[in-house]
């Protein structure tokens, strides 16, 4: 984990926004650049941040050792998947060397996620034959959240089938997925939490919107967070209103931020 990633995780664990952590010492833009790996803090700045977070400076400076020859392959594949470049992610995974006790399980999971994403893309592009080939060669056995992934596979096959008969035979896994997503988001594992949310069958409920909004907020994707949280506001006002105030404040929309601050005082 890089210095920026450690800093961001420690900030989220402390329940602090970027603005709250910055104080008068540094700008929010600089903190964002540090967390994203685009800038390195001076020792004075790092000492200030460590003090604010209750961590020793050494916590942020300890480097993670390279524990596998596949580390760069996996980092590249993860990044490409997150960018939605699924063809390139699959190509990156072809350079993986097995067996590898460190990454074998993650590689198997990421391969399935890429296959499912490529299949959905192919369906949208009316490349049904390629989509069916991908789905028929997707093996979810022995994989974490195998039931959820297999559900997604069957739902996609159902779209190819056109009748929806396959998908109607499946019991809903939404409640389990929701609980796992909540746990992952609260622990700062946003990638896993997001994947769990996207695997849910019903993605238009107020609670789903609340959870997705929380994940966007933790990623500093404030505009996306607003869109989700506004759809959850009526159902969960006490949880949503302070989050919307934060989003609008970070977006520089101080009029809306003030309105939501006032709502909290009522």
* 143 prior amide bond cis, ω within 30: no
CA nearest neighbour of 54 among 25, 19, 22, 13: 13
CA nearest neighbour of 115 among 101, 130, 126: 130
Q: What is the pLDDT of residue 40?
A: 79
Q: What is the pLDDT of residue 6?
A: 86
Q: What is the pLDDT along the chain (266 residues), one digit of tens a residue?
A: 678 888 888 888 888 888 888 888 888 888 888 888 877 787 788 888 888 888 887 777 755 444 578 888 988 998 999 889 999 999 999 999 988 887 888 888 889 999 999 998 998 888 989 988 988 888 877 766 666 677 777 777 766 765 444 444 545 567 777 887 888 777 777 777 887 787 777 788 998 999 999 888 888 889 999 999 999 999 999 999 999 999 999 999 988 988 888 887 66
Tokens of 213: 């909004």
Q: What is the pLDDT of residue 161?
A: 62
What distance in Å separates the CA atoms of residue 240 and residue 225, rounded to the nearest whole number?
Answer: 10
Tokens of 121: 């893309």
Contact criterion met (CB below 8 Å) for 260 and 244: yes
């Amino acid at each position: 984990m890089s210095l920026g990633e450690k800093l961001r995780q420690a900030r989220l664990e402390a329940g602090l926004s970027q603005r709250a952590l910055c104080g008068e010492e540094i700008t929010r833009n600089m903190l964002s650049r540090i967390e994203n790996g685009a800038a390195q803090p001076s020792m004075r700045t790092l000492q200030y941040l460590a003090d604010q977070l209750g961590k020793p400076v050494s916590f942020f400076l300890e480097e993670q050792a390279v524990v596998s020859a596949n580390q760069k392959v996996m980092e590249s594949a993860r990044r490409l998947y997150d960018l939605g470049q699924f063809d390139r992610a699959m190509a990156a995974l072809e350079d993986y060397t097995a067996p590898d006790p460190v990454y074998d399980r993650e590689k198997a999971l990421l391969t399935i996620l890429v296959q499912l994403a490529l299949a959905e893309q192919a369906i949208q592009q009316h490349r049904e034959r390629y989509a069916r080939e991908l789905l028929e060669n997707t093996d979810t056995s022995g994989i974490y959240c195998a039931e959820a992934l297999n559900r997604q596979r069957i739902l996609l096959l159902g779209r190819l089938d056109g009748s929806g008969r396959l998908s109607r035979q499946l019991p809903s896994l939404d409640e389990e997925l929701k609980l796992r997503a909540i746990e992952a988001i609260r622990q700062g594992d946003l990638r896993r939490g997001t994947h769990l949310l996207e695997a849910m069958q019903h993605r238009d409920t107020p609670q789903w919107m609340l959870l997705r909004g929380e994940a966007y907020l933790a990623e500093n994707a404030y505009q996306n967070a607003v869109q989700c949280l506004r759809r959850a506001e009526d159902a969960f006002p006490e949880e949503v209103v302070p989050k919307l105030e934060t989003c609008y404040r970070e977006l520089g929309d101080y009029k809306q931020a003030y309105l939501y601050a006032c709502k909290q005082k009522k």
